[in-house]
Every structure is written in C-alpha cells, then in structure tokens.
Structure 1
Amino acid sequence: MQCLTDLEKLKIKDCPEFHSLEGIGGLVMLKVLKIEGMPKLVELPEELGELKSLQKLCLSQCSNLSSLPKGVQCLTELQKLQIADCLELHSLKGIGSLMALKILKIRNMPKLVGLPEELADLNSLQELQIQQCPNLSSLPEGMQCLTELQTLQIADCPELHSLEGIRGFIALNILKIDDMPKLVGLPEELGDLNSLRDFQIRQCPNLSSLPKGMWNLTGLQILQLVNCPELHSLEGIGGLIALKVLEIDDMPKLVGLPEELGDLISLEKLHISTCPNLSSLPEGMNRLTKLSTLCIEYCTGLHSLEGIGGLISLENLEVNHVPMLVGLPEELGYLKSLRQLLIWWCPNVSSLPDGMQHLTELQNLQIMQCPQLEERCSINTGEDWAKISHVPDIHIWLCY
C-alpha cells in the first residue's frame, strides 16, 4: 500500500478479518479515509499521523477500537472527523491539536464518559454532533471558547444533565437537543446566543421551564418544543420578533398560550399538537398577519377557534382530532387568503359558518370523520352545500 503515493481516497468496508492498517503512513496524498465494519481492528497505527494531506476521517463499526493514536494530533489538515458505533472507544484525547477541524460527529460510543478539555482548542470547529453516548454526564467548561461553532446537536445522552458552557457560542446558528431525561433547565446564558436562528428541544421530560434570557433571542427564526411534559408556560415568547416557525407538541401541562403570542409579527407557521389542557386560543393571535399555516391537532380540551379572524395571510388551516370543538367561528370567512382547509376527527362540529362562502380562494376542503358535517355538506341537498359549492376540490368521508 505504501506504493500508492498518489491515492487520495481510501474506503475499507465490511472486512471482518481485517485487523491492521500498518503501512498506511505511506499514503502521503490521502485526503479521505473511511474505515467501516472492522470488528478485529483494536488500534490505529501511530503512522496515521503521517497522513499530512488527510482532510476527512470516518471510523464506523470498529467495535474493538479502544483509543485514538497519539499520531492523530499531527493531522493538521483534517477538517472532518466522524466516529460512530465504536463501542470500546472511551477517549478522544489528542483531538485538541486538530486546528483545521470544522466538523466533529460522535455517535454510539457507550464508554465515552467525557469530552476532553482540549476540545476548546478547536478554534475552527463549526459543527459538533454528539449522539447516543449514554455515559456522557457533562460538557467541558472550555467549550465556551468555540467561538466559530455554528451547529450543536446533542441527542440520546441520558446522563447529560447540564448545558452549562454554551454561553460563548457567539456564532451558533442551530441548537438541537433531543432525548436528555436528566436535563431540568437551560442556562440563562442561552439568551446571549445572538446568532441563534434554529432552536429545537425534544424529549426532555424533566425540563420544567425555559430561561427568561431566551426571550432576548431577537434573531431566532425556528423554535420547536416537542415532548417536554413538564413545560407549562411560554410567558415571554413575545420577544422573539423574528420567529417564523413555532412548533409546540406534547406539552400536557400547557393550559394556555400567552396573549403576547400576537407579538410574533414575523410568524409564518404555527403547529400546536397534543396539548390536552389547552382550552382556547389567545385573542392576540389576531395580530399574526403573516401567518400562512396553522395546524392544530390532538388538543382534546380545545373548544373554540375564536381569534383567528385576523390571520389575513393564512393559506392552510388544519384542525385534526379536536373532539371538544363544537363549531367553526363566523370570522373564518375573513380568511380571504385561505386555500386549504382540513377538518378531521371533530365529531361535535355540527355546521359550517355562513362566512365559508366568502372564501373565494379556497381550493381544497377535506372533512373526515365529522358525521354531522357529512350530512350537511351533501352535494346539492345538504344545508351547508351552498356555502362550499364554489370549492373546486372537496373530499368528505367517514371511516367505519
């Protein structure tokens, strides 16, 4: 292999008996090295550090690889390091010297208990992903020095209980947190991440509140809060004046949306799902004049849609599995931009409002499992047929 001095890419995959990479140091022009499915590989040779041109290193499914060689520190041109399913790998010591590293992805490393402090020396790092590290309990304090970091994604790390140390991420655009059952709070410094545009937090069952500083994120455009059952309030959300997408899903303790929701003057998409104790919408929703999509589903306590009449840009309205809803408001007729209306599994909606006939832009109407509406919307004979006969595409059906 030492003779292949011009080789730029090398991929070794699914070689269960392959146990050594000795001689690889001679591949002086190698830029990409991918090693996958080599269970008998227990170590990487020190000469790995001689690959001065290496820009991308991917190690996957090397279940007996326990550590990285010291030579890894010499990979000064390495821009991407990806390690996945290396079950015995317990340390990332030595990565602090990878001064050109821009992307670091770590997945399924059960023996990794911590990230080295030298992680803070990766001054060029732009993306960090940490997934399926069940024994990782904390992040290194020095992480705040990663001033070029743009994307941080942490998922399925059940022992990780704190995100302290993120305050220095002045360039962070995307922050995704998923499946961290021991996370009880977010640091106030979250509000200092002025570059943050996309914040997603999912499956954090013990997160009970959001930091007040978070509402200072005036550049935030996407906020997704999913399956955080202890989260009970969104007070302060009105400060997110650049927010375009808001998703609220599976928050059983949320009993109401704040009036300041109407201050989200840039909001274009609002998705509310599985909030069983939400009983009504705030009057302030009328001020969401840029909202184009509103989806409300599995909100079993919601009994009214009053307050939607001011949504003059709304094009898509979906109402799904809202059994307490007894009717649609007359102000529905004010939604002159509406092009699609879906009413699914709302058995107590007994009629359509007269204003429906004013929805001249409506192109698609779907009514499913609403038995009272099925009869009233019967072609030519139903009491509500005249209100919807102008709609080009109508689907009404029951599931038996």
Structure 2
Amino acid sequence: MPSSLGLSQLQIKDRRNFKSLELQSFSSLAISTIQSCDKLKSLEMPSSLGLSRLEISDRRNLKSLELQSFSSLAILTIRSCDELTSLELPSSPGLSQLEIEYCDNFTSLELQSAPRLSQLEIRHCQNLISLELPSSPHLSRLQISFCCNLKSLELPSSPGLSQLEIEYCDNFTSLELQSAPRLSQLEIRHCQNLITLELPLSSHPSRLQISFCCNLKSLELPSSPGLSQLEIEYCDNFTSLELQSAPRLSQVQIRHCQNLTFLKEVSLPSLEKLSLSTVRKEVFIMFVSASSSLESLFIDNIDDMVSPPEELLQHLSTLHNLKCSGLATSPHWIGSLTSLSESEISDSPDLTCLELPSSLCLSSLKVNYCPNLTCLKLQPYPCLSSLKIGKCPKLASFEVASLPCLEELSLGGVGAKLLSKLVSVFTSSSLKSLYIWEIHDMRSLPKDLLQHLSTLQTLHILKCSRLETLSHWIGSLISLRELGVHECHQLTSLPEEMRSLRNLQELYLCDSLILRIRCSVTTDGNWSRIAHIPHIHFFDDQGLKFKPWIGSFTSVMDLHICDCAELTSRSEEMHSLKSLPTLKNFHCWNLLEDAKRKHFKFKNRESHAWCRFHQYRETFQVNYFVTDASVAGSKQNTR
C-alpha cells in the first residue's frame, strides 16, 4: 500500500489466502482491524504509523507479535490467535487499554513501559503461567479469567488500581500486591488452589468477594476502614477469618463455609444486612453479637439451630426484614422482633404447620417452597399489604379472620380449593393486584371472587394448564387496568364482557394455543372484544395470523407482537395497521430483516417501526416471586 493513500481506518477481514501485509508510513492511519486472515504470517507496522487503535483477531498461524513503539496507540485488542505465544511491547506511552483473549498457547507478555495503562483484560489464555507487570500508576482495572495454568500474580505499586478480578484460574496460588491504596473492589472466584490471602496494609477495599476457592483456609484483613461489603461462598476448607477493624462494613454474606470456626471478635456498628447459609452456629452468634443496627437477616441451615439464643434477641430488635430457610417448626421467637415488617419463609421441607405470633406488625409475607406444609395460621395483621404463597402443594388449611389492608396477593403451586378459601379474607376496598400461577386443577376462576375484587387493577394468570375460560363476570371489574394471560394452553376464548372493561389499558396474551387458533380462523369474534384496549402485547404466538380487519383496532396506541411470521412490510395486514388513527408504536420481532428499521407513515403521525430483540421472558416478567429464572422477577416496562 503506497503511503500516498490518506488512510485513517483500515479493515481486513476474511482473507483466507492473504499471506503478508506491509504498511508503509501512513501518518493518518488511526484505526486498524485485521480479522480472519488464516495464512497471514508476516505483519510489519513501522513506528511512524499514527495508530490509536489496533485489533488483531482470528489469525490462526500467527506465532509471535512484535510491535514498534507507537506513541499514539491507545487501545490494543488481540483475540483468537491460537498459535500466538508471546507479545512484546516496547515503550507504549499512550497505551490505555489492552485486551488479550482466546489465545490458547499464549505464555508471555512483556510490557516494558506503559505509564498510561488503565485497563488490562486477559481471558482464556490457558498456557499463561505467570504475569509480571511494570509500574502502571494509572492502572485502574485488571481482569484475569480462564487462565487455568496461571500460578501467581505480582503487582508492583499500583496507586490507581480500583478493581481487580481473578476467576477460573485453577492453579492460582499467590497474589502479591505491594501497594494498592485505591483498591475498592477485589473479586476472586473459582481459584481452587488458593490457600491464603493477605492484603497489604495500604489496601482498603470496599467490596471483597471470594467464592469457590475450595482450598482457601484463612483470610486476614488488616484495618479495613472502607470495607462495606464482604462475601465468602463455597469455600469448603475455609476455617479462619480475622477482621481487625471494619467500622463501615454494612453487608456480610457467608454461604457454604461449614468449617469456619475461628472468628476474631470485632465490633461491626454499621452492619445492616447479614446472610448466612450452611455455616456453624458460632458464626451466627459472632456476627449477630457484633452488630447493633442489623436490619435484614437471612439464615439457612445453621447447624441444628431451632431458634437463636435468647441473649441474642436484643441484637435483632432493629430487624425489618427476616428470611428463614430450613425450618422444621414455626419460628415463635420472631414474636420479640418488634420492628419486623417483612418476612419470608422458604425451602423448608420439614415444616408442616406455620403459625406466626400476633405481636408482629407485618406488611409483607412470603411463604414458598414448603412441600409438606399443610396448615398456615395468620393473625389479622392490620398492616399486611402483600401476601405471596407458592410451591406449597399440600397446603389445604388457611386460617385468618381478615386481612383488611391486603393490596397484593400472589398464589401459585397450590390447589384450586385454596384460592376459593382465600376469597373470604379479602375486603372489596383493598385488593389491587392478583397473580395466579401454576394452579393446574383450576378450569375457571372461582365464582365467589367477583364481589371481593371491585378495586382490582392488575390481574395476571400464568401457566394454569387446565384453564378453559375467563369467567363472564370479569366484565364487572370496572377498575381493572392491566390483564395478562400467559401460557394457559387450554384457554378457548375471551368473554364477550371484555368489551365492558373501559379502563383496561394493558392486555398481555402469551402462548395461549387454542385461543390463538380460534382467533386465526374466525372473522371477528375474539379480536373485536379487545379492539378498544390501547396497549396490546402478543408474545410467543408464532402461529398468529392477522386478518385485514385488524384495522378495526381503532383505539390501540401500542401494539407488540413477537414472531408473527406472516406479517411483512408489504402484507395487507401492514396496510391496515398503517391506517389506524391512534397507533403510535408498533413492535414486531420478525420484522427485523424485513423492515430494516424503516419508517412507516401512520395516519396520525410518522412513527418508527422498530423490532424486539429479546424474548418475552426477558422483556416482561410477572412479579410472583418464585425464583425460577425463566419466569420470575418484576415486570419491566415494554413500551
């Protein structure tokens, strides 16, 4: 390439037979990308190049790389160069970001001088054994992952280092930090051969996370005035933790460290959130005794502890949130927790009857994953606004006089009879949100539900496999603003009374197979019953077929469709859509290639027809609290 070319950016990709490249003096060349040139073995780049960014990737035969001194080079990325064994960088005064990944045979990195290096990432370099870095006063982030043969890391004085992450380095045994006064985040995960960890006195991390280091035995933390979050998980041989001083430590999580026995006593005046799982009773006692302002506590599998020692209850008087797992009997001791407002009982297979004391002033209660629970006894808590019960298939008895302030009810993984029993405790002036899910023996909603739902604003029904119809009385829910029916495969129709829901703003229909078929073959029917709703969402309806009469949706403002294969920018249905007077936003996933993000001119305004890239479960999730990643979480805005 002659130097007379005024190149500022060069990209060479997928040149399988390209063997050599000689770049002469291009003072204007700022960005260069070389990718998928399998046979390229020779690369000459004179130092006179004005490169600021260089990316080399998918060069299978490149064995070594020597770069001249580029004073302007700021970003260097080397990726998927399988045969590359070493990288030599002379003085690189402008280099700020270096990334090396998927270089299986990479063993050596020689950085002579990189005074401005701020970010270094090395990933999936399996044969890298050791790493020695020059003094880098501006290095703020260092990440090393999947370097399974890396044994040690030596860092000279790193006054700017704030984030250090080491993970999936199986043979990693030693971390030597000379000085890192600004280190705020240290994360070490899946380093099986790490035995001890000592931090220099000058390091004051605010967040320390160590997990899956099965041979780690001890952790010594000197004075840690800035430490606010400590997490230690799945360290089977971890026995000793020394906290000399941590006045700002507010969150502690220790899980599956069943051999931890030695903890040096320390005062933790700022500890607010404590999570302990599969640890010894001594660990629980030490942390609770050291706290004076604890607000949130999660305990699970603490030896055979049935209840905390009485002398510790005074340290729990400030608790607002309590989560318990692995219970065998009702936790009567929580009656002394006068500040408790939120409680969750979960994962307790031995619990058969749950009775909570009347002295509590709960606003939120969750009971889930208690497979043998048969009886739930509650007091008429005047402040209880949220009740969530799930995955308790044997629960048959629910005893409570009334719940006068209940606004949200989530019920799932139980029998249909329990829902009928619960309606008697509703008051017509309180309930606003109802979530019903995985009640597989329910064919229709209970008839007695109507009189208790006059203020209901949100109703979602999920995965009720035998639900055949929505009750006709649904038209009397005059306050209903949001309705969702998700994965109810036997649902056959939408009731005629849907037309009466004049306040209904949002409708979600997800994968209702039989309903989808009926809507496809009828000429009007179900569609006309929802034409007045301004925001309509169809998800996972791959077989959905729209007729030209979709133009009768004269009130719709937002229409979301996931994968309607027959809908194209030239179809008759699209012509009908563009004539709708109120439609402002139209989203259709499968139009990604067809629409090419073009603008469609709707009758009332020009609106961008953009496409959904995410599946339904990633963009809209219903808050029914069960920790199934595919369906749990909180509803996210889809508009």
TM-score range, shorter chain: 0.7 to 0.9
Task: Show the 5 A alignment for 1:257-272.
Answer: 257-260=354-357, 262-272=358-368
Question: TM-score with structure 2 length normalisation?
Answer: 0.51
Aligned-pair CA distance for 1:274: 0.8
In structure 2, relative to structure 1, the CA distance for the partners of 1:358 and 1:90 (3 Å cut) is: closer
1:239 to 330, 336, 339: 336
Distance between the aligned counterparts of 1:126 and 1:343, measured in 2?
39
**TM-superposition CA deviations, 1:109-139 (whole Å, max 9, x none):** 12212223xx142232211111221111343
Any idea what SS the aligned residue of 1:139 has?
strand
1:132 to 234, 240, 253: 234
**Structure with more strand by fraction:** 2
Whole-angstrom distance in 2 between the partners of 1:342 and 1:148: 42
Root-mean-square deviation over aligned CA pairs: 3.7
Amino acid at match of 2:334: I
In the alignment, what sits opposite 1:383? Answer: none
Q: Counterpart in 1 of 2:204?
A: 100
Counterpart of 1:294 (choices 382, 387, 397) is 387
Structure with bigger gyration radius: 2
What is the rounded CA distance, in whole Å, between the counterparts of 1:91 and 1:188 in structure 2? Answer: 22
Structure 2: gaps of 5 or more residues: 1-110, 492-639
Range moving further from structure 2, 296-305 or 351-360: 351-360
- CA–CA distance in structure 2, aligned partners of residues 166 and 264 of structure 1: 32
**Distance between the aligned counterparts of 2:447 and 2:298, measured in 1?**
37
Cα 1:139–1:185 change in 2 (3 A) is closer
TM-score between the two structures when normalised by the length of structure 1: 0.77
Equivalent residue number for residue 567 of structure 2: none
- 1:36 corresponds in structure 2 to 145
Residue aligning to 2:7: none
Q: Relative to 1, partners in 2 of residues 1:104 and 1:186: Cα closer, same or farther, differing over 3 Å?
A: closer
- Tell me the CA shift for residue 247 of structure 1: 1.1
Distance 2:461 2:269 in 1: 46
CA contact (8 A) 2:291 2:315 kept: no
1:121 matched to 2:223 = yes
CA contact (8 A) 2:394 2:414 kept: no
Whether contact under 8 Å (2:129, 2:149) holds in the other structure is yes
After TM superposition, list the pairs within 5 Å mapping 1:362-377 onto structure 2.
362-363=456-457, 364=459, 366=461
Deviation of residue 268 (structure 1)? 2.8
Residue 55 (str. 1) matches residue 55 (str. 2): no
- What secondary structure, in the 3-state scheme, does the structure 1 residue paired with 2:137 have? coil
How do 1:246-325 residues align onto structure 2 when only pairs under 5 Å count? 246-260=343-357, 262-274=358-370, 276-282=372-378, 284=379, 286-289=380-383, 291-307=384-400, 309-322=402-415, 325=418
Q: Structure 1 counterpart of 2:159, which letter?
A: K
Percentage of identical aligned residues: 24
Kindly report which structure 2 residues correspond to 1:373-384, keeping only aligned pairs within 5 A, or say none.
379=471
Code of the aligned partner of 1:56: Q
Residues 332 and 341 of structure 1: is their aligned pair in 2 closer, same or farther, counting only changes over 3 Å? Answer: farther
Greater percentage in helix: 1
3-state SS of the aligned residue for 1:236?
Answer: helix
Distance 1:125 1:184, change over 3 A: closer
Alpha-carbon offset, residue 207 of structure 1: 3.9
8 Å CA contact retained: 2:263, 2:286:
no
Alignment deviations for residues 248-283 of structure 1 (CA, whole Å, 9 cap, x no partner): 0132444544452x433252343344162452313x
For the 8 Å contact 2:119–2:140, the answer to whether it is kept is yes
Name the CA shift for 1:311/1:194 in 2 (closer, same or farther; >3 Å).
farther
Q: Distance in 2 between matches of 1:367 and 1:35?
A: 42
* CA contact 1:241–1:264 (8 Å) conserved in 2: yes
Give the Cα separation in 1 of the matches to 2:234 and 2:175. 19
Please say which of residues 315-324 and 4-13 is displaced more in the overlay. Answer: 315-324
Higher relative contact order (CA 8 A, sep 6+): 1
Write the letter of the residue equivalent to 2:476: H
- Taking a change above 3 Å as real, the CA distance of residues 191 and 115 of structure 1, as seen in their structure-2 partners, is closer
Is the contact between residue 168 and residue 190 of structure 2 (CA under 8 Å) also seen in structure 1? yes
Structure 1, gaps ≥5 residues long = 381-385
**Secondary structure of residue in 1 paired with 2:175:** coil
Contact 2:460 2:484 survives alignment (8 Å): yes
1:298-339 deviation digits (Å, cap 9, x = unpaired): 435543333152332332242531478495156334252213
Q: Does structure 2 retain, via aligned residues, the 8 Å contact 1:194–1:218?
A: no
The 1:297/1:17 distance shift into structure 2, 3 A limit, reads closer
Does residue 360 (structure 1) correspond to residue 454 (structure 2)? The answer is yes
Provide, for residues 59-81 of structure 1, a one-character-per-residue CA deviation record: whole Å limited to 9, x for no partner: 22332222223xx2432332222
